[in-house]
């Protein structure tokens, strides 16, 4: 619930402690001392399905108000297993089974449009945005982290685009955003092998800004957020907009490619295989 | 360069410490899921620990079907 309190001098930055907080089923957020902290906490590993999406949309709707009193946004997970394992494939499979093919395709497109709207909004935030990640940061979870200006990873974090295993490509903006940050060879490696890379490697290729000790990513992110609060907000936002363009045309193209691929029988087979798997190591490519 | 046995020994010590099980109870030819009481996500933690410790990069697709410590150590050894 919003506290409604504001410092008596009307300031928006500095030592304010509004303590604004909202908790929903999959996510919660609070604004404290100029830093918005968005926590993901949906078992088993923050899989992004319709529930999380609708709550992220709620957060995105609140963002303009929150941004007025903030200089940074940190996104992190409270789930031990990791930051986010990606899209909720079980929900996707179940819904595709329940619907006629055309209806399922339309549903997928609608989902993608909505996810892109939220992720684009986070990407375009005038705040300095930081993903503090640990453990599994796969698929849609990786894509959420890529919306942020900085990724700070705990040394056990792993990054992966497993989508090709399902006959798909990343659909939440991953390829355009990864291309924005990394060399094409690294993007091809991740995409075409579906392998995961650790935080050390991610740091070496420039994906991750800092590698923190086990369990220390959020702490490091908070220090970094405090540091960015020292600078003029308008200047920082202007610099960010200059150096971090949002690849809107490619993002739209990604949705089209994803929807074309989703129509193929191989995708339903891939989803079914994932959902029904008794493999001891389902997270391996 | 360490020998295969040295790599195996280091790996068992590392796994025991990280997952808080007794080193003496780990058998090289044993299923590490059972021995360590871990799931597939924790296997990735183990992989990361091993990569960082041995300063190697081991593509996780090479771990398909690998369930015992000895085979895992051979994979690590091949990257040293």
Q: How confident is the model at residue B39 (pLDDT cuts 50, 70, 90)?
A: confident
Rounded average pLDDT over A278-283: 69
Best mutation target, B44, B50, B52, B56, to test chain A (most A CBs within 10 A) = B44
Nearest residue in A to B33, CA atom: A280
Which structural domain range is residue B39 located in?
4-77
**Tens digits of residue pLDDT in B47-61:** 999 999 999 999 999
Residue A209 at interface with chain B, using a CB cutoff of 8 Å: no
DSSP state of B59: -
State the burial class of residue A221 (Cβ atoms within 10 Å of its Cβ: 0-12, 13-18, 19+).
buried
Q: What are phi and psi of A284, to 5 degrees?
A: -90, 150
Distance CA A101, CA A99 (A): 6
Q: What pTM did the predictor assign?
A: 0.91
- Residue A120: its H or E element: helix A101-123
**Tens digits of residue pLDDT in A263-274:** 998 898 888 888
Contact (CB<8Å) A198/B51: yes
Domain ranges of chain A: 20-276
Facing residues of A22 across strands?
A29
CB A161 within 8 A of CB A144: no
- Residue A273: its H or E element: helix A265-276
Distance CA A122, CA B43 (A): 32
Domain count, chain B: 1
The pLDDT assigned to A4 comes to: 37
**Tens digits of residue pLDDT in A184-220:** 999 999 999 999 999 999 999 999 999 999 999 999 9
**Tens digits of residue pLDDT in A137-185:** 999 999 999 999 999 999 999 999 999 989 999 999 999 999 999 999 9
Q: Pull the structure tokens for residue A103.
A: 């209806």
Q: What angle do CA B12, B73, B14 make, to 5 degrees?
A: 25
* Cβ-Cβ contacts under 8 Å for A281 (sequence gap 6 or more): B40, B43, B63, B64
Q: How confident is the model at residue A281 (pLDDT cuts 50, 70, 90)?
A: low
Is pLDDT at B26 greater than 70 in this prediction? Answer: yes
CA distance A39 to chain B (A): 21
* Cα of A111 vs its chain's centroid, Å: 15
Is pLDDT at A13 greater than 90 in this prediction? Answer: no
Rounded average pLDDT over A43-49: 95
The pLDDT assigned to A143 comes to: 98
Please state the CATH superfamily assignment of the domain spanning residues A20-276 in this structure.
Answer: 2-enoyl-CoA Hydratase; Chain A, domain 1 (3.90.226.10)
Q: How confident is the model at residue A280 (pLDDT cuts 50, 70, 90)?
A: low
Mean of pLDDT over chain A: 90
Among A89-93, A123-127, A222-226, whose mean pLDDT is lowest? A89-93
Is pLDDT at A8 greater than 80 in this prediction? Answer: no
- 3-class secondary-structure state, position A94: helix
Q: Pull the structure tokens for residue A46.
A: 């923050």
The pLDDT assigned to A102 comes to: 86
Is pLDDT at A65 greater than 60 in this prediction? Answer: yes
Residue B17 at interface with chain A, using a CB cutoff of 8 Å: no
Q: Which residues of chain B neighbour A284 with C-beta distances below 8 Å?
A: 40, 43, 60-61, 63-64
Contact (CB<8Å) A155/B52: yes
Q: What is the ipTM of this complex?
A: 0.90
Facing residues of A137 across strands?
A84, A159
CB nearest to B60's CB, from A135, A196, A280: A196
Distance CA A48, CA A172 (A): 10
Distance CA A250, CA A176 (A): 6
**Tens digits of residue pLDDT in A98-150:** 888 888 889 999 999 999 999 999 999 999 999 999 999 999 999 999 999 99
Q: How confident is the model at residue A20 (pLDDT cuts 50, 70, 90)?
A: low
CA distance B78 to chain A (A): 18
Is pLDDT at A10 greater than 70 in this prediction? Answer: no
Query: What CATH number is given to the structural domain containing B21?
Result: 1.10.1200.10
Best mutation target, A43, A204, A281, to test chain B (most B CBs within 10 A) = A281
Q: Which residues of A188-213 are buried (b: 16+ CB within 10 A; e: fewer)?
A: ebbbebbbbbbbbbbbebebbbbbbe
Q: Hey, how many other C-beta atoms are within 10 angstroms of the C-beta on B1?
A: 6
The pLDDT assigned to A18 comes to: 46
CB nearest to B52's CB, from A193, A200, A280: A200
Is pLDDT at A9 greater than 60 in this prediction? Answer: no
CB nearest to A283's CB, from B40, B51, B67: B40
Q: Pull the structure tokens for residue B39.
A: 């799931």
CA distance A171 to chain B (A): 22
In B24-63, the residues whose Cβ lies within 8 Å of chain A are 33, 40-41, 43-45, 47-49, 51-52, 57, 59-61, 63
Best mutation target, B45, B51, B54, B56, to test chain A (most A CBs within 10 A) = B45
Rounded average pLDDT over A53-68: 96
The pLDDT assigned to B40 comes to: 83
Contact (CB<8Å) A284/B33: no
Distance CA A15, CA B38 (A): 44
Q: How confident is the model at residue A19 (pLDDT cuts 50, 70, 90)?
A: low
């Amino acid at each position: 619930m919003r506290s409604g309190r504001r410092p008596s001098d009307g300031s928006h930055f500095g030592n304010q402690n509004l303590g604004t907080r909202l908790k929903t089923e999959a996510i919660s957020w609070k604004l404290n001392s100029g830093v918005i902290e968005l926590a993901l906490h949906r078992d088993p590993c923050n899989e992004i399905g319709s529930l999380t999406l609708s709550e992220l949309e709620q957060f995105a709707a609140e963002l303009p108000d929150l941004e007025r009193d903030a200089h940074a946004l940190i996104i992190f997970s409270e789930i031990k297993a990791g930051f986010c394992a990606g899209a909720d494939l079980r929900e996707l499979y179940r819904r595709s089974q329940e619907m006629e093919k055309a209806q399922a395709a339309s549903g997928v497109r609608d989902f993608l449009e909505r996810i892109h709207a939220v992720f684009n909004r986070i990407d375009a935030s005038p705040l300095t945005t930081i993903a503090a990640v640990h453990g599994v940061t796969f698929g849609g979870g990786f894509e959420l982290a890529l919306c942020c200006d900085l990724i700070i990873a705990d040394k056990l974090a792993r990054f992966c685009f497993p989508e090709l295993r399902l006959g798909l490509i990343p659909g939440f903006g991953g390829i355009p955003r990864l291309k924005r940050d990394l060399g094409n060879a690294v993007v091809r490696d991740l995409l075409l092998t579906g392998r995961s890379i650790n935080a050390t490697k991610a740091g070496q290729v420039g994906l991750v800004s800092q590698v923190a000790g086990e369990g220390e990513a959020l702490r490091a992110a908070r220090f970094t957020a405090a540091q960015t609060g020292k600078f003029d907000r308008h200047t920082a936002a202007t610099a960010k907009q200059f150096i971090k363009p949002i690849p809107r045309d490619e993002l739209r193209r990604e949705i089209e490619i994803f929807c074309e691929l989703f129509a193929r029988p191989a995708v339903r087979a891939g989803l079914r295989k994932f959902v029904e798997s008794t493999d001891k190591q389902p997270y391996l490519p | 360069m360490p020998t295969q046995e040295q790599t195996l020994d280091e790996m068992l010590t590392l796994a025991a410490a990280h997952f808080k099980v007794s080193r003496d109870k780990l058998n090289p030819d044993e299923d590490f899921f059972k021995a360590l009481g871990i799931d597939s996500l924790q296997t990735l933690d183990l992989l990361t620990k091993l990569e960082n410790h041995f300063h190697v990069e081991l593509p996780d697709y090479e771990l398909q079907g690998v369930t015992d410590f000895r085979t895992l150590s051979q994979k690590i050894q091949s990257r040293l």
